[in-house]
Amino acid sequence: MNWIPKDPLAKIDIRHKLPLGFVCLYLVVFGIGGYFVINSVYAPLNQEILLRLQSESLAQATIFDKKLEMLARRSEDFASDGFIRTQTANLVNELAEARFLGPLQKHLLVNKLPLVAEFIDLQILDLDGNKVIGVHENRYLDAQRIQPELGGGQQQFSSIVAPMDETNVPTTAIITPLWDIEMVRRIGYLVCVVNLISVINTTALDYGESISESTMEKYLTFVDQKGGALEVPWWYLKLITPARPGPHDEEGVGVKVIPPRDAVKPALHAGRHACQNGKDMFGQSYPLKSAGWRTLIELDAADALMPLSVLEGKLLGVALVVALTTLVLLFFPIQYLVRPLGELQRMAFRIKEGDFSQRNEIESEDEIGHLARTFNLMTDAIEERTTRLERTAADLKNREGELRVQHNRLQAVVHSMRDGLILLNHRSEIVLSNQAAKPIVLKLSDLEDTLRISKCELHDAESGECVNCLLNTQQTTSCELHVNDGIYEVISSKLPSLNGASGKVLVARDITERERMNSQQAHQERLAVLGRTAAVVAHEMNNPLAAISMYNQMMEEELPESSSFHEHVNVISRNTQTCQRIIRELLDYARTPLPRAEEVDLHEILHDAFRLLIPLYSKKKISIEENFEIENAGLWGDATHLQQVFVNLLDNAMQSVDSDSGWISLTTGELLETTQVFVDIQDNGPGIEKANKKEIFEPFFTTKSSGGTGLGLPTAKRIINAHGGDLLLLSSLKGETIFRVILPRRSKQKLKLQEPNTQSRTASVNR
């Protein structure tokens, strides 16, 4: 089983890989062996060092604890002195006089301070911590520094105090309560200032035999209850001998006080640990019960483990010697194994470059010799097959040229077709299309697009499945689609491919012009029928209507003014006029209006249309807004016909809006770089239903329940088309209906002339 699929040293030559592998093998062997050897020694040695430090720490803690306990008892003896207690009581009772201060200070200086060599100052404080008297006047210890530690009736040691400006001696204070002579009340405190250097010197001198010899970096540290520390190097303790007890002017050399802000936590320094100076240390700690402190002994781990470091160096040296020896012994395998492999590699490189004349001369009978002869046979076979491939490649190149010519001819034919051609593969991907099919290709690229269908065997006029149907290679169909502004007749058929999967061919023919001509022809036929109908209706109805109107007028003249039949006569008159208007509209629609060539002002025409409609809708509260954005509203056209269009559109808008909250907006602007102007008529009526949008411009279509002929909008559109413009329905939503009238700025010569027609025609349709 191949556990390593790829050689991790694949980019290294074998002549380097072989010796490197042997060296690494020896290094790993020696490394693992050395690791187990060193590790088997490290653990017991660490344990032994910690046990030795534990023993030393216990011994030093016992020694210094006894020394501090003795000093505490001497301080209690001083505090029980009757003279001191009596004089202190007088001083704290506001009887401080020179006769009390002098004897007490002399008594402390002469009779008490010399008794204990470690005491360098004696002070008496009142219960508030204020200094009453002292021997050296704050030379060694300021009473304010131990004031926060006063309180209670028990003796206690203060924190370690760093040397003051006057001396370089670290100190501490034994604070002992002073009681009155009757031992009834506490009157103050006796503060014995202890020279810690003297304590260390005398203790080391008395117990010098218990301090072991050490050339390593080693420290004895005293840690007070607040974290302050006094660090004593081990070499300092060994310098103190009976011949050199340590003169006072050199006391404390090497001893360092660590303030509480850099607090030493003995719990963190126990065992093997890293100190603040970055060194790796061994440490053990024990408490000093008499002072509430702790002792801490630390030993530099590097010094303690120096023998192991020497052993590691020896192991590494032996490993290097063995590795060098192995490299020397590898000369023969490299000479008779790696060199032939390199020759085979060079031969393979020449073959890759196309030089098949190379042959190797290796004549050994081992595996490498067999491999060399196989290389020669392989070279002969490759040379023969390469010759065959070259001849085949030449033939393929000639055939490729012929195929390229045929392909170019096919491309020219496809792209010259007026009909669109789209070729789909079996995955419904477009692999070929011409320029005529570009609109269809853009639609097919959007699978969620909806196409409007004129004729289809499978779908309705609006369907989201039309694109999927055209891309389905298993389905053939024939349909007419509306794409952008054009109409296309699309015919599809299956196209079998070489691998058995079928594709599809789509042929799209643009029939927009044909449909336009059919529509125009149908429109002309309707107009012809309408003209004949209008002539017949006019001929058949005008005479009866004229007779009815004449007799109605005669009846109106003959009726007395008080007759009740006047109302009936008026009804007959109005209905007769309605019939005449309908006949006139039929005649107007049957005739194609020709605009009268004259220069008109579009804004004036709009204002005139408003004035004509004001009497009809004066009772409605309709808000009318004008947004005329063009400065020059002049154009050529027929003012009467244009007024008829705008009267019709405004009348429709006023009929559709609410009588109380109706709103109509008129907006004018320019299009196509000022070659066209437009007028937008917008209202907030109910809008036109979607089903009726396509029918509103058809003749005789109306939504009015009564009184509408359905000729208003068709007539208006024909008038605008006669002017070279267009009438569009831009939007028809509830609360927003917008009709747009587009008119060109044409010159007089571009308009067909017509005799002036002073008759104003109006028509309306209810949306």
Distance CA 108, CA 84 (A): 8
pTM: predicted TM-score of the whole model, two decimal places? 0.41
Residue 742 lies in a domain: yes
For residues 711 and 605, membership in a common domain is answered with: yes
Q: What are the pLDDT digits (tens) for 689-744?
A: 877 777 777 777 776 655 566 677 888 888 888 888 888 888 888 888 999 999 98
Q: What is the CATH number of the domain that holds 688?
A: 3.30.565.10
For residues 575 and 532, membership in a common domain is answered with: yes
Do the beta carbons of residue 684 and residue 735 sit within 8 Å?
yes
Split into its structural domains, the chain has a count of 5
Residue 622 lies in a domain: yes
Residue 38 lies in a domain: no
Do the beta carbons of residue 155 and residue 176 sit within 8 Å?
yes
**Final residue before a domain boundary, out of 162, 192, 222:** 192
- Distances in Å between the alpha carbon of 100 and those of 70, 89, 95? 30, 10, 8
For residues 628 and 743, membership in a common domain is answered with: yes
**Final residue before a domain boundary, out of 464, 486, 510:** 510
For residues 649 and 726, membership in a common domain is answered with: yes
- pLDDT at position 760, please? 35
Structural domain for 349, as ranges: 337-383
Q: What are the pLDDT digits (tens) for 83-117?
A: 888 888 888 776 555 566 788 888 888 888 888 88
**Final residue before a domain boundary, out of 145, 173, 192:** 192
Strands (E), 113-164: 119-125, 131-134, 156-157
Q: What are the pLDDT digits (tens) for 656-667?
A: 888 788 888 999
- pLDDT at position 741, please? 92
Distance CA 372, CA 741 (A): 94
For residues 737 and 612, membership in a common domain is answered with: yes
Q: Look up residue 102 and give its two tokens.
A: 């002098």
For residues 457 and 549, membership in a common domain is answered with: no
For residues 499 and 523, membership in a common domain is answered with: no
- Distances in Å between the alpha carbon of 406 and those of 97, 400, 402? 135, 10, 6
pLDDT grade for 647, boundaries at 50, 70 and 90: confident
For residues 631 and 738, membership in a common domain is answered with: yes
Q: What is the CATH number of the domain that holds 379?
A: 1.10.8
Residue 346 lies in a domain: yes
- pLDDT at position 245, please? 53
Residue 44 lies in a domain: no
- The per-residue pLDDT of the chain, averaged, comes to 76
Residue 8 lies in a domain: no
Cα torsion 234, 237, 238, 240 to 10°: value is 160
For residues 630 and 736, membership in a common domain is answered with: yes
For 458, how many CA atoms within 13 A lie in the half-sphere containing its CB?
A: 14
For 512, how many CA atoms within 13 A lie in the half-sphere containing its CB?
A: 8
Residue 242 lies in a domain: no
For residues 501 and 545, membership in a common domain is answered with: no
Residue 497 lies in a domain: yes
Q: What are the pLDDT digits (tens) for 32-45?
A: 776 776 677 667 77
Q: What is the CATH number of the domain that holds 85?
A: 3.30.450.20
For residues 496 and 429, membership in a common domain is answered with: yes
- CB-count exposure of residue 662 (10 Å: 0-12, 13-18, 19+): buried
The packing angle between helices 14-79 and 82-92, to 10°, is 90
For residues 626 and 680, membership in a common domain is answered with: yes
Rg (CA), the chain: 61
